[in-house]
Amino acid sequence: MSICWQQEGNEVRASAVFALGTLLDMGFDTCRSVGGDEECDDDEKFRAEVSIVKSMLGVASDGSPLVRAEVALGR
């Protein structure tokens, strides 16, 4: 994810924040195994969500108003 935050284009960073916010909003309920019998590990989902939130908070002080607005909205 850090590669997205290093992009020069404001639109690229804002789009990454939007996509990650949408992922958090949708949740990880769609996580399924190939066979459909195995459950997703809740701890793994929680760690992924925390990682995403930390990444998004890291760009909250971005120089671009567009990126900061996307972080604030958190879709």
pTM: predicted TM-score of the whole model, two decimal places:
0.67
**pLDDT reading at 67 higher than 50:** yes
Whether 1 maps to a domain, the answer reads no
Q: How many domains does the chain have?
A: 1
Q: Which whole number is the average pLDDT over 47-61?
A: 85
Q: How far apart, in whole angstroms, are the C-alpha atoms of residue 54 and residue 61? A: 13
**pLDDT reading at 37 higher than 50:** no
Closest CA relative to residue 72, chosen from 61, 63, 44: 61
Whether 39 maps to a domain, the answer reads yes
Whether 3 maps to a domain, the answer reads no
Whether 51 maps to a domain, the answer reads yes
Whether 63 maps to a domain, the answer reads yes
Structural domain harbouring 22: 10-73
Q: How far apart, in whole angstroms, are the C-alpha atoms of residue 74 and residue 49? A: 13
Question: Which amino acid makes up residue 15?
Answer: S
Whether 55 maps to a domain, the answer reads yes
Whether 58 maps to a domain, the answer reads yes
Residue 70: predicted pLDDT: 87
Q: Six-digit token pair at 61?
A: 């002080």
Whether 50 maps to a domain, the answer reads yes
